[in-house]
Amino acid sequence: MLDGQKVLNLSFTEWDTKENVLENRRRFQNAAGAKDFSLVAMRQIHSDVIHPFSSRPAQPCKGDASLTREAGLLLAAQTADCVPILLVDPGKKAVAAIHAGWRGTLRRISQKTVGRMQAEFGSRPEDLLAAIGPSIGPCCYEVEADFVTKFTAQFADAAGYFDEARTGDEPNPLQWLNMKPPGHQPPPKNVHLDLRKANRSQLLAAGLSEKSIFSSEFCTGCRTDLFFSYRKEGALSGRLLSVIGIRK
């Protein structure tokens, strides 16, 4: 319960009890037709750390991407604005789940996970299918202008991830009129970042084909009636789960 309303929070938070979350996960797995799967949810740290699993670990591992060829494991990405990405190699029967916030995206976690599937399972990028789930859209994801510099230093096409490719270092032609208080330059205007587009670009760079990438256009910031959004709801936001597994 949150503010008197029932919510399907699927991650452990300060405001929800462990018993509620475990029950919500049980219901979620039943609804997904995966009640007999072992759920593998990591302690996400906004990194590029990737873990391969052959069994469910005794304690949650720290990281932001997981992969397996083991039937009966249900890999999970927990999100509340960040981009969840699920990968499958139908031929090698291998799957992966990715949690990509801006830090993980900047560290190329999507691209690195494809590379890890190549190394671990012999996957060919052109054989992979990818699903990009609901996440915050560029309409709602406002970031500081220096994010443009962060991303353009890493990606050749990064200017296309932003509504305006401003870095915040551009000269202000009206700076003397705009100084508030007098003698202080106002901070540069923020820009909007498209995290889904950035991760899609990484998947394409890794070798996936355009037709093999499927993306939800739902914005978690716009649709808090359907999804959780940390940006809009703050610390009381719950978490969604995006999962993938191999049936026994």
**What phi and psi values does residue 186 have, to the nearest 5 degrees?**
-65, 150
- Do 114 and 212 lie in one domain? The reply is yes
Domain span holding position 95: 18-138+194-245
Does 6 reside within a domain? no
Structure tokens at 148: 């443009």
Does 80 reside within a domain? yes
Q: Residues 142, 62, 114, 10: is their CA dihedral positive or negative?
A: negative
- Do 180 and 206 lie in one domain? The reply is no
The count of structural domains within the chain is: 2
Is the pLDDT assigned to residue 91 strictly greater than 60?
yes
Position with higher pLDDT, 177 vs 116: 116
Does 55 reside within a domain? yes
- Do 79 and 174 lie in one domain? The reply is no
Q: Residues 227, 62, 104, 205: is their CA dihedral positive or negative?
A: negative
What order of strands is seen across the sheet that includes strand 129-132?
50-52, 65-68, 94-100, 83-89, 129-132, 213-215
- Do 153 and 176 lie in one domain? The reply is yes
Structure tokens at 57: 């670990």
What tens digit of pLDDT does each residue of 125-180 get? 999 999 999 999 999 999 999 999 999 999 999 999 999 877 766 555 555 555 56
- Do 169 and 122 lie in one domain? The reply is no
- Do 122 and 58 lie in one domain? The reply is yes
Closest by CA position to 126, among listed 246, 216, 210: 210
Is the pLDDT assigned to residue 1 strictly greater than 50?
no
- Do 160 and 230 lie in one domain? The reply is no
